[in-house]
Structure 1
Amino acid sequence: MNLYRKYRPQTFKDVVGQEHVKAAIVGQLEAGDAAHAYVFSGPRGVGKTTIARLIAKSLNCTERAHGSAEPCGTCQSCVAITEGRAMDVMEIDAASHTSVEHVREHILERVRVAPMHQKHTVFIIDEAHMLSKSAFNALLKTLEEPPAHVVFMLATTELHKIPDTIVSRCQRYQFFMLSPEVMMKRLKGMCEAEGKRVDDDVLREVAYRSGGSQRDAESLLDQLLHLEQSHITRERAVTVIPMTDLGQVKAFLEGWAQRRPQTSIQTLQSVMEGGTDLNGFTARVLEVLRGVLLHRLGAISESMAYTHVQFEDFASVLKEVSDARLTDMLEAAQVAATAPAHEALPQLPLELATIRVCGDGDTVTPPVAPSASAVHFMETIEDSTTVAVSDEDNASAQAGVGSVAAIALEDVKSRWSTFQSKLRKKHASLPLAMELAEPISVDGCAIAIRVPFAFYAETVNAGQNNRLLSTLMSEVLGSTVSIKAVYETSGNAVVDSVVDAFGGVVQE
């Protein structure tokens, strides 16, 4: 039997978390004043259906002590509900029974009939937001004035999809994700009951991956407990649940903090070679950067991604990084996390983020030139992530651009860093092509820039990309200009330094 079924709470005191909901419901049951309809909303796997079942057991328990809300768990009614065979307690999956016909046949018809075995007829409608509009309309009158023996409980993960007319006829309770302490305590208790010893860092990984859902955490733990070993270490657990090495996260961020892209990219290569889930690695980088930034702002938040000691270690690595640059790091990691996946180069978004983060400032470390296999990806980016120049951008450019006038090459060079900074805020991939670019000549209002790779020139000169670049440069210079990329390699010191550092040849 699955853990989450085997250890499903059978009394209110066994329910972990949701203290605000338990206090209100228990108070009603102790006073004998339960509502006729409830709406339970919140994330999946946090106890909504469990609470609904406990209410059904409590209302129908024949041996419940006076003034108590706890069901006895041993009477015929409690046993039948626990085993899922109580005829008067009906659980309806609204996701697969959305029609008004089903509501009429299985709910409205049953409402008119007295319960067969229990005191109350209880309807637990799971994923209630999936019901059709007609089905909700059919329930309205019954929810407003139900028979005394009928109780409705609607559980949903998307409250906004339930009509206000339905919600207003029910008592609504909001459920929340479980805290780290509550989840760890619950998981440890299950391990002890199963006679297994699981290391804390493994349980922390299980809790982190569950995203605050106790049911998801118990499902993951169930997979681990099926290992033959009585003591489950991190080394054993990785065969079932791939884990991110926080030491690699630290090394990666050290490269960012010290503006050493080689360190970060080498760490990234180790992550790839080790078979670590890259999405999970990126998520940990985001979690750490967010945690450190919030800590500096005084908004300390709990996280299952690391222990307090590990957090202090990360904070030490980033202590010399300013708040502004830390924010830029977080934004770069966010762009990498949401970038389109590429089958051949899944690490490319993080490599671009590394170039961006380590290339800012007075001392720019030459970024790693992408391999020739990146050509197809850059062409894909052109089609899928090209940013069109919006009306607001055009209006802004017109407001800041003066009359067409001759521009000197020195003017362009002196404002090149400002132009690149504005570009990073507007586009995810173009900044890579422009990192190694340099202005070489000005002919009237036409600016020629040199790029070291042919596919960079194609990217810069392509349609909407070129219009965006020309618009941004016009804003910076205060005069309408155009940009054209020229592919040249000779005499480019930056390219030569990259080739010297990393080996290889420049491919046309």
Structure 2
Amino acid sequence: MSVALYRKYRPKNFSDVTNQNHIKITLQHEIESNHLGHAYLFCGPRGTGKTTLARLLAKAVNCLDLKNNYEPCNECDSCKEILEHRSLDIIEIDAASHTGVDNVRENIINNARFTPAKSKYKVFIIDEVHMLSISAFNALLKVLEEPPKHVIFILATTEAHKIPATIISRCQRFDFKKIFAKDLVTRLRWIVSQEGMEVEESVLEQIAKHAGGCVRDAESLLEQVLSLGGQKITAEQATLILPRSDHNLFYELFSLILNKQKAEALGFVNKLLEDGIDLNQFTDNFIEFLRQLLIYKVTNNPHDLARDFDDNLVTRCIAVLAKAEETQIINIISKLLANKDLFKQNYLVQLPLEITLIELCSLKIAVLTSVKPVTALPSIKPPINPVSVSTQKDEAIVFAPVHEINEVPIAEKQVVEEIVIREVGDLIGFLNFWHVVLKEIKEQNYSLFMSLHMSKPLSFVDDKLVLGFLFELQRTRVDDLKSMNIIKEALLKHLGRKIVVETIIDSKLTLADLPKSTNFDNQVAALPKTPEEAVSDVASEFGGQVVG
């Protein structure tokens, strides 16, 4: 029976390990200086070299004839025993099948008491250590606190967050990274040459992309491709083995959404269904694809895409992202996440994704920069002969001058409700919204509302609001951290951006300057909801009438 490629070409020296240089260099220095730790924790994704480096470390610390003061020779008795898995002093334990405290006591604690049979160190390699039970971790903790001098522990895991902090704090932690596609291609090319065969470069690139940074997956997939036979494997032959690239499918769907191609998007879903693709899993992976595009859009760093995409796809993604906005990608991700629960229902399997795509393709405004700022009050033209009206009694309530705007289509209104940034540039414009903000606060915290009612907005410049108070008691109440958070959230909700709030005592204020409670309720109730109501209310306030 032939040996699997990932076993046949498992690295025998540190120099053979693909990437992970930040870990290799540290371990090599420790071996060379003989300053070894008693416990190591190797964390990272599967297939990135955790177990391989654990065995290399075990082999190096026990090698009788080190090369370059840190590389195992692979020729001495100790190295040969470890390579052939017959060393009594290298104990590998699969924590997934030995989770209990009894297993830890029997296989680790009791064994650790005895000196090595032949080697300098007795090394315990515990794979998938996060699978141990709490009691097993507690038992392991005791021996990690006071380890024998002749024992080294190497813990490996893909889920470091499940390991107790007391264990992690007693280990040297090393975090393994996924392997870049170009480095995987280099290793695959070397393996192909060792096998005396030829594989087209495009095939190796496809294998590397499908592996997702996992060396073992890449080598296993290469083995399937090589099994096609012949001295040279072409891209056409490899299509019989290699799965279709999901990234290209994701790119195609993303383009359909951006171009609002509703019918084509539905046809795309039907094609996925015919090909037997799990639409729930496809949606999850599509969200991850969009996340990568969003990261690139923010960082503008092509390496964020090159890690998982081939060069051709990177070029296409960069081209389409040049025409897209961050808010578009965020909107797509939000819609997909919002409709994820529909997959749990007993409906047609394609229905949740179809509904989401129809919604996304139907939006007329999806980009923040394409939405014109909308004022809260529809506008009127000032009357030709304005009537002189005394506003002395209501001088705290001033309506901002407004200008004629066009009616917003219904489809646009729905999006504007999601993304609204108010045009408020001065105190007069701000006062148009202040009553609505107060009403929002009143519903959340009546006591805070009453304290704010004893204040008056003094200025609003560069998104900074200054509130003047008559009494220190109310000012202190409003300036409280919890109260200030409520105020800022209400301002953010109604103005669409963060506002800085400052509170001061204004000695010029009098009770007559503060708004009356009865007037406040009427003002909020009378706040116009439609363009017609706005025109009528403002004209009535100034004693005028609507002409034309």
TM-score (norm 1): 0.66
Give the match for residue 140 of structure 2.
139
Equivalences for 1:405-424 in 2 at 5 Å?
418=413
Match of residue 63 from structure 2: 61
Q: Tell me by how many angstroms 1:89 deviates.
A: 0.6
**Secondary structure at 1:29's aligned position in 2?**
helix
Partner residue, 1:228 = 229
Q: What does residue range 403-482 of structure 1 map to in structure 2 within 5 Å?
A: 418=413
Within-5 A mapping of 1:322-361: 322-333=325-336, 340=343, 345-361=348-364
Alignment CA distance shift 1:219-1:341 (3 Å): farther
Once residues 102 and 70 of structure 2 are traced to their aligned partners in structure 1, the CA distance between those partners, rounded to angstroms, is 36
Between the aligned partners of 1:184 and 1:111, the Cα distance in structure 2 is 42
| Distance of aligned partners of 1:72 and 1:324 in 2 relative to their CA distance in 1, 3 Å threshold | same
Residue 30 in structure 1 maps to residue 28 in structure 2: no
Tell me which residue corresponds to 2:83.
82
For residue 127 of structure 2, what is the aligned residue in structure 1? 126
Question: Do residues 307 (structure 1) and 310 (structure 2) align?
Answer: yes
Q: Specify the alignment match of 1:294 in structure 2.
A: 295
Amino acid at match of 1:184: V
Structure 2 contact 28–70 (Cα < 8 Å) conserved: yes
Is the 8 Å Cα contact of residues 297 and 321 (structure 2) preserved in structure 1?
no
- SS of the residue aligned with 1:173? strand
Partner SS, residue 340 of structure 1: helix
The AA in structure 2 aligned to 1:310 is L
Give the superposition deviation at 1:260.
2.1
Going from structure 1 to structure 2, the CA distance change for 1:275 and 1:118 (only over 3 Å counts) comes to same
Instruction: Give a deviation string over 1:141-191, Cα, whole Å, max 9, x none.
Output: 322222222111111122222222222222222222222222222222222
Aligned match of 1:6: 8
Query: 1:285·1:333 contact (CA, 8 Å) conserved in 2?
Result: no
RMSD: 3.3
Give how far 1:345 is off.
Answer: 4.3
Pair 200,275 (structure 1): closer, same or farther in 2 beyond 3 Å: farther
Q: For residue 171 of structure 2, what is the aligned residue in structure 1? A: 170
CA distance in 2, matches of 1:198, 1:327: 40
Q: Is the 8 A contact 2:203 2:235 kept in 1?
A: yes
Alpha-carbon distance change, 244 to 109 in structure 1, aligned in 2, over 3 angstroms: closer
Contact 2:198-2:233 at 8 Å conserved across structures: yes
Distance across 2 between alignment mates of 1:177 and 1:47: 10
Deviation at 1:279, TM superposition (A): 6.4
When structure 1 is superposed on structure 2, of 264-273 and 171-180 the one drifting more is: 264-273
What CA distance in whole angstroms lies between the structure 1 residues aligned with 2:175 and 2:246?
35
* Matched letter for residue 26 of structure 1: Q
- Map Cα deviations across residues 108-141 of structure 1 (whole Å, 9 max, x no partner): 2222222112221111111112222222222333
Structure 2: distance between partners of 1:241 and 1:286: 23
Counterparts in 2 of 1:47 and 1:158: CA distance versus 1, 3 Å: same
1:192 aligns with 2:193: yes
Q: Which amino acid aligns with 2:312?
A: V
Structure 1 stretches lacking a partner, 5+ long: 364-412, 425-474, 480-508
Q: TM-score, normalised by structure 2?
A: 0.61
Q: Distance in 1 between matches of 2:234 and 2:56?
A: 36
- Determine what percentage of the aligned residue pairs are the same residue: 40
Change (3 A) 1:234 1:332: farther
Quote the Cα distance in structure 1 between the aligned partners of 2:102 and 2:110: 11
CA contact (8 A) 2:209 2:309 kept: no
CA contact (8 A) 1:244 1:280 kept: no
Considering only CA atoms, is the larger Rg found in Structure 1 or Structure 2? 2
| Residue 94 to residue 76, structure 1, CA distance change in 2 (3 Å) | same
| Structure 1 counterpart of 2:52 | 50
Q: Which runs of 5+ in 2 are unaligned?
A: 367-407, 420-493, 495-523, 526-548
Query: Secondary structure of 2:305's match?
Result: coil
8 Å CA contact 1:38–1:171 kept in 2: the answer is: yes
Partners in 1 of 2:231 and 2:171 — Cα distance?
Answer: 48
Cα deviation, residue 360, structure 1: 0.6
Distance in 2 (alpha carbons) for counterparts of 1:7 and 1:46: 14
- 1:253 and 1:234 map into 2 onto residues whose CA distance is 26
- Structure 2 equivalent of residue 39 of structure 1: 41
- Bigger drift between 206-215 and 290-299 goes to 290-299
Change (3 A) 1:125 1:334: same
**Residue 238 (structure 1) aligns with:** 239
Match runs of 1:252-263 below 5 Å: 252-263=253-264
Larger deviation: 212-221 or 18-27?
212-221
Determine helix, strand or coil for the equivalent of 2:360: helix
SS in 2 for 1:241: coil
Quote the offset at 1:224 in angstroms: 2.2
Alpha-carbon deviation of 1:27? Answer: 0.1
* Match of residue 535 from structure 2: none
Question: Does 109-118 or 191-200 show the bigger shift?
Answer: 191-200
- Going from structure 1 to structure 2, the CA distance change for 1:337 and 1:71 (only over 3 Å counts) comes to farther
SS of 1:297 mapped into structure 2:
helix
Distance 1:350 1:199, change over 3 A: farther
Deviation of 1:421 (Å): 7.5
